[in-house]
A and B are shown apart, each in its own frame.
Chain A
Amino acid sequence: MSKEPILSAKDIEIQFSLRGKTLKAIRRCSLDLYEGETLAIVGESGSGKSVFTKSFLGMLDANGKITGGSIMYGGVDIAQYKTEKQWMTIRGKKISMVMQDPMTSLNPLKKIGKQIQESIELNQGLKGEAARKEAIEMLKKVGIPDAERRANQYPHEFSGGMRQRVVIAIAVACRPQILICDEPTTALDVTIQAQILNLIRDLQHELGMTVIYITHDLGVVANVADRVAVMYAGQIVEYGQVNEIFYNPWHPYTWALLSSLPQLGIKGEELPTIDGTPPNLFQEVKGDAFAPRNKQALAIDFEEEPPFFSVSPTHSAKTWYLDPRAPKVEQPKTIRLLREKMGHEEVTGQ
């Protein structure tokens, strides 16, 4: 990881104004993205994972703006971009996005081929027949059989999985450097989900893209990610290599997320739950945002926000537990058992 990051967000703050009040959706969040890697951002709904990544593309809603920090990309601070024209040099060309729901992200009135062509014409400067050829080429690339004929069909003639393939084709049509996938498989069946994840992986190798996954499914994370960042209440609270996050996590929120998974539950026992609700981001958060929901919170968690402590050169967690002065806290049973327990079982399906 001595490589230079291709995108580096530093101390990003994003605020939304809602009915005269300010909501701090992202509170000083930093992230480095390295070339060729797959980074997964996990967290519950409302943790800010979508908002954070949308700011890399200038796709925040009109009432939201970046109020602090910088996003360095290609030697320029894109957080300073103001106009659509500036953003259009990046959006779709360099960084593009796959949305969650393939049912709503396509235009129902336009033919599939035309929709892909549109993106190609806009961003690659190809016109007419050349763009059409390229669009059909893209459809083949994302595994749609009989691409010539399918390009002349409308979205309603496609199944959910096929539509998501089309959305991916549009996103990668201009060979972006970074592809952001916002819950790309949540709306799909498990069998289709596995195929789409494989497709994204193949495209990533073929086109040499860097991929950011936004998801709340830790199973998907285990499948695709090289690195994982865990988000809570507008901040990244822990990041590291995927194995470090699953087998040796340190932030209590990561513990809670992993232990509450039904897949890791022990039959006949209650699943550990995360009680309470995330903090209200209209108000200033004091101390560790997760402390009110953490049964083992330390006194200092309520007073002062913890800094990042590093566990290994690639793994850091924002929790006082790692401070040398803190009392010794044990990782929960589920986490300790994770490796052994899953290791004992046969890999299902084989």
Chain B
Amino acid sequence: MSEREKLIEIKDLQVSFGTGRHKFVAVDHVNIDIYKGETFSLVGESGSGKTTIGRAITRINPVTGGEILFKGQRISGKISKELDQEVIRKCQMIFQDPMASLNERAKVDYIVSEGLINFHLYKDEDDRKRKVESILREVGLLPEFASRFPHEFSGGQRQRIGIARALIMEPEFVVADEPISALDVSIRAQVLNLLNRLRKSRGLTYLFIAHDLSVVRFISDRIGVIHKGRIVELAEAEELFLHPLHPYTKALLSAVPIPDPELEKKKELLIYDPSIHDYSTDQPIWEEILPGHFIYGNQRELDQYRREIEGK
């Protein structure tokens, strides 16, 4: 694993909002490496800070502590204007709600090519048109859709427009923030397939943000579980599903409904109680407990997790 190229390195990231008495730490000491070509997923409930991490990478939210590296270069905090422009181009975002994320008054042609226009990434009008046309085809839409308005499309098609808008910039890294949770069941599979296909054909790297663990298993290589701004467990997707260690991960997994009545009726719902952690004297650390399997806990808990691994 270690010889793989790290595309994004997040080191001790902290993001907080407000100051003084109103200060709220949304993301606290987060360490993640995202390798080139992989799909890394962040899972957690609403308010856990998963979206904030995605937005910190794309420079939408300023970072208050730690740093973010993109291909070994620092992209958080104050950076040169050229680098800023490059980050905006190379790190794109796909949003959750396709009903809210498209400009209702602009035609698809403009929505998709807005990035190109801002960065003058085309030679002439013909070149721009050609680019829009080819990207629309690539995401499974027809080129003549360019002259239509967003309201003429269904949810799935609108999400494709959102994907086209991100990909026309030829990014290397895409933050997909709950791209399928607002879609109908029958459309979800199509959009997931499209994202997977594009990752292969364009060599993209994804940060996939979701609250539904079951969807994430299918698409991710590695998964990080985040709770109240802290990553509590991080492992390869299958490893995390088969051998979850942290009580929060276990609770989250037990809450996910499985589309199988026999299993679902046998399942026991676990409730996570954060007060079981006593961090008053024994400070917790971020430890690689098995190769590639990280967990957050203090020495006593880590010992307990190790016993659990041996018991398996």
* Residue A274 is within 8 A (CB to CB) of chain B in the complex: yes
Q: Which of B197, B214, B268, B271 contacts A219 (CB 8 A)?
A: B214
* Residue A347 is within 8 A (CB to CB) of chain B in the complex: yes
Answer whether A190 and B212 are a contact pair too, CB < 8 Å, given A263-B218, A347-B267.
Answer: yes
* Residue B281 is within 8 A (CB to CB) of chain A in the complex: no
- Stretch in A70-78, A81-89, A191-199, A322-330 with 4+ CB within 8 Å of B: A191-199
In the complex, what's the smallest C-beta–C-beta distance from B188 to chain A, in angstroms? Answer: 7
Within 8 A of A (CB), among B238-270: 241-242, 244, 250-270
Measured CA separation A44–B154 after assembly (Å): 13
In the complex, what's the smallest C-beta–C-beta distance from B154 to chain A, in angstroms? Answer: 7
- Stretch in A162-170, A264-272, A296-304 with 4+ CB within 8 Å of B: A264-272
* Residue A65 is within 8 A (CB to CB) of chain B in the complex: no
* Residue A283 is within 8 A (CB to CB) of chain B in the complex: no
A194–B260 touching, CB < 8 Å: no
- Stretch in A51-59, A111-119, A220-228, A313-321 with 4+ CB within 8 Å of B: A220-228
Q: Which of A189, A191, A221, A350 contacts B268 (CB 8 A)?
A: A350
A257–B263 touching, CB < 8 Å: no
Q: Which of B185, B217, B244, B260 contacts A257 (CB 8 A)?
A: B185
Q: Which of A221, A271, A342 contacts B192 (CB 8 A)?
A: A271
CB 8 Å contact bits of A256-300 with B (1 = contact, 0 = none): 111011111101001111110100000000000000000000000
Dominant secondary structure at the A interface: helix
Answer whether A263 and B193 are a contact pair too, CB < 8 Å, given A189-B211, A190-B252, A349-B268.
Answer: no
Q: Which residues of A contact B259 (CB under 8 A)?
A: 218-219, 221-222, 246, 258, 261, 263-264
Chain A interface residue count, Cβ-Cβ cutoff 8 angstroms? 50
* Residue A217 is within 8 A (CB to CB) of chain B in the complex: yes
In the complex, what's the smallest C-beta–C-beta distance from B258 to chain A, in angstroms? Answer: 6
In the complex, what's the smallest C-beta–C-beta distance from A236 to chain B, in angstroms? Answer: 17
* Residue A60 is within 8 A (CB to CB) of chain B in the complex: no
Answer whether A260 and B185 are a contact pair too, CB < 8 Å, given A219-B258, A273-B190, A349-B270.
Answer: yes
B192–A263 touching, CB < 8 Å: no
Measured CA separation A338–B154 after assembly (Å): 30
In the complex, what's the smallest C-beta–C-beta distance from A107 to chain B, in angstroms? Answer: 23
Chain B interface residue count, Cβ-Cβ cutoff 8 angstroms? 48
Q: Which residues of B contact A275 (CB under 8 A)?
A: 190
Q: Which residues of A contact B254 (CB under 8 A)?
A: 194, 348-350
Measured CA separation A191–B267 after assembly (Å): 14
Q: Which residues of A contact B147 (CB under 8 A)?
A: none
Closest to A197 in B: B257
* Residue A200 is within 8 A (CB to CB) of chain B in the complex: no
* Residue A243 is within 8 A (CB to CB) of chain B in the complex: yes
B189–A216 touching, CB < 8 Å: no
* Residue A80 is within 8 A (CB to CB) of chain B in the complex: no
Q: Which of A44, A190, A225, A242 contacts B213 (CB 8 A)?
A: A190
B189–A260 touching, CB < 8 Å: yes
Q: Which residues of A contact B213 (CB under 8 A)?
A: 190
Within 8 A of A (CB), among B88-113: none
Q: Which residues of B contact A217 (CB under 8 A)?
A: 185, 257
* Residue B82 is within 8 A (CB to CB) of chain A in the complex: no
B257–A198 touching, CB < 8 Å: no
A246–B214 touching, CB < 8 Å: no
* Residue A61 is within 8 A (CB to CB) of chain B in the complex: no
B255–A222 touching, CB < 8 Å: no
A222–B193 touching, CB < 8 Å: no
Q: Which residues of B contact A264 (CB under 8 A)?
A: 259
Closest to A160 in B: B46
Q: Which residues of A contact B215 (CB under 8 A)?
A: 262-263
B189–A191 touching, CB < 8 Å: no
* Residue B186 is within 8 A (CB to CB) of chain A in the complex: yes
B interface residues with partner A (beta carbon < 8 Å): 45-46, 154, 184-186, 188-190, 192-193, 196-197, 211-215, 217-219, 237, 241-242, 244, 250-272
In the assembled complex, 28 residue pairs joining A and B whose CB atoms fall closer than 8 Å, in A order, are: A190-B211, A190-B256, A190-B257, A191-B45, A194-B254, A195-B271, A216-B184, A217-B185, A219-B264, A222-B258, A222-B263, A223-B265, A243-B262, A246-B261, A260-B186, A260-B188, A261-B189, A262-B218, A262-B219, A264-B259, A267-B218, A273-B186, A273-B193, A274-B190, A347-B266, A347-B267, A349-B244, A349-B254
**3 shortest interchain CB distances as A-B pairs:** A219-B257, A349-B254, A260-B189
